[in-house]
Amino acid sequence: MYAIIETCGKQYKVSKGDVVFFEKLEAEEGKKVKFDKVILVSDNGKVEVGTPYVKGAKVEGKVVAHGKAKKITVFKYKAKKNYRRKQGHRQPYTKVEITAISTAAEKKPATEKKETAKKEEV
């Protein structure tokens, strides 16, 4: 089972147990995070695509660590003008371990049992 989620302005393909590096999230280490913007869920060949998001689908994860990526060098240069600027940048990230992927289809059987019990009472 895997899902495609949208977060931090990007789309990520995740499955249970994956460790994914996202742009920096505002969550403390060890805390759980939920991703509600699920674009696609695939479960053993059964694919559910959202318009734009799959209703009732959620992806849960646990924040493992925060950090910074390797330094990249940004160099600006204009020919024949003696203009040169050298600058470095380290992008902050959040390392998240995916713990669960749930869909609305998994929750339906439980609600159907409650509805049939209510009908029998009436």
- Write the CB contacts of 61 (distance below 8 Å, at least 6 apart in sequence): 14, 20, 32, 33, 34, 35, 96, 97, 98, 99
CA–CA gap between residue 72 and residue 104 (Å, rounded):
42
Asked whether the predicted pLDDT for residue 113 surpasses 90, the reply is no
Is pLDDT at 108 greater than 80 in this prediction?
A: no
Kindly list the domain boundaries of the chain, sorted by start residue. Answer: 2-121
CA 18 to each of CA 21, 88, 91, 106: distance values in angstroms, whole numbers, following the listed order: 10, 30, 21, 21
Q: Quick one: pLDDT at residue 104?
A: 79
At 115 the pLDDT is: 60
Asked whether the predicted pLDDT for residue 117 surpasses 90, the reply is: no
For residue 7, what pLDDT band results from cuts at 50, 70 and 90?
very high
pLDDT at 58: 94
pLDDT surpassing 70 at residue 38: yes
pLDDT tens-digit map of 74-97: 999 999 999 999 999 999 999 999
Is the pLDDT assigned to residue 45 strictly greater than 80? Answer: yes
Nearest-angstrom CA–CA distance, 41 and 78? 48
Rounded Cα–Cα distance for residues 29 and 24 (Å): 12
Confidence check: pLDDT of 107 > 70? no
